[in-house]
Amino acid sequence: EEHGIDLRRATNLKEILAGEDGRVRAVMTEDGEEIPCQIVGLTPGVHPNIDLVQNSGIETNHGVLVNEYLETNLPDVYAAGDCVEIKAAMEGERSRFEQLWYTGKMHGEVLAKTITGERTKYERGIWYNSAKFLDIEYQTYGFVSHQPRPGETSLYWEHPEGRHCARIVYKTDSHEVVGFSFFGIRYRHRVCERWLREKRTVEYVLENLGEGNFDPEFFKQYESEIVSKFNLQNPGANLKLKRRKGLFRRLFA
Ligand SMILES: Cc1cc2nc3c(=O)[nH]c(=O)nc-3n(C[C@H](O)[C@H](O)[C@H](O)COP(=O)(O)OP(=O)(O)OC[C@H]3O[C@@H](n4cnc5c(N)ncnc54)[C@H](O)[C@@H]3O)c2cc1C
């Protein structure tokens, strides 16, 4: 809203109202509010443009159908990225789309191996997504549920001004980290993914948090505040940040 975007929460579009000239004049929400407007932008999701392969003999459905190796039904013809519809591997499962930049990148990496002679199966691995809402970065890694799941604890830190926050979800018994969400701080995909893959504990992650920070140089760093929040929530814990982000740290390490 501070960017001049007038939001309506917890309601939906009910109707687009036309003026006498047949053009849009307003929208109506489910709450009965009429908002005058000149244009309407709708974001109903992603629809692959597969016109190019229609009538080519390449099997399609909503997208270009491929198997787990990203192979189409024709030999030596592959597909990757937003246009791909990965066929269900097992009966009863549904085919799937992966319309994200990082999955597109992974498709490309897998296919590069395959076409250079090492036939490689595509495995998505640890869940990741990132986005930018105007000037605020957001990323999520692994599994961060909206409601805590049994056997999991989460550490939540938020800066008082409400523009930066972090959530680290870990197993209550072993302290193994299962997911992260960051809002307003940019973290390095490779580092967070490695921590999850290596099943690092929340203590290890917190002490090394600076390694994952991917904000531009000289941005304010919040890692020590996140560590302090953990110490506060866990009497007896006395974690200290071992790694800070920064060029000088790397140069003089
Ligand atoms: C508004 C928006 C926001 C997004 N935000 C995020 C996000 O926050 N995080 C995230 O992970 N992903 C996001 N995505 C999705 C991400 O951008 C896509 O998953 C990614 O770009 C897909 O890459 P691609 O190479 O498969 O397809 P594209 O990037 O669409 O590239 C396909 C290219 O093929 C070209 N092309 C099409 N037909 C032909 C033809 N007949 N001949 C030659 N060229 C052709 C097109 O012009 C285009 O350049 C967003 C997408 C949009 C639209």
Could you tell me if the CB of 212 is within 6 A of ligand 1? Answer: no
- Check if the beta carbon of residue 54 is closer than 8 Å to that of residue 46: no
pLDDT at 65: 97
Q: What is the pLDDT of residues 56-75, one digit of tens each?
A: 999 999 999 999 999 999 99
Rounded to whole angstroms, how far apart are CA atoms 89 and 98?
Answer: 15
- Domain boundaries in the chain? 1-44, 51-115, 128-252
Phi, psi of 211 (to 5 degrees): -65, -30
CA 73 to the chain's CA centroid: 30
pLDDT at 208: 94
- Picking from 198, 218, 219, the residue whose alpha carbon sits closest to that of residue 208 is 198
pLDDT at 101: 87
In ligand 1, the atom with minimum distance to the C-alpha of 102 is 11
Report which protein residue has its CA nearest ligand 1's atom 41.
Answer: 52
In ligand 1, the atom with minimum distance to the C-alpha of 129 is 11
pLDDT at 164: 95
**Domain at 51-115: CATH code:** 3.50.50.60
Eight-state DSSP code of residue 78:
B
**Could you list the mean pLDDT of each consecutive 10-residue stretch along the chain, which spans 253 residues?**
86 96 96 96 88 94 96 97 93 89 93 97 91 89 90 96 95 97 93 96 95 87 94 93 66 51
Q: Which CATH class is domain 128-252?
A: alpha beta
Q: Ligand 1 center to residue 104 CA distance, Å? A: 9
Rounded to whole angstroms, how far apart are CA atoms 100 and 129?
Answer: 8
In ligand 1, the atom with minimum distance to the C-alpha of 81 is 26
Rounded to whole angstroms, how far apart are CA atoms 137 and 193?
Answer: 18
Q: Which helix (H) or strand (E) holds 44?
A: none
If DSSP codes are grouped into helix, strand and coil, which group holds residue 20? coil
ipTM of this predicted structure: 0.96
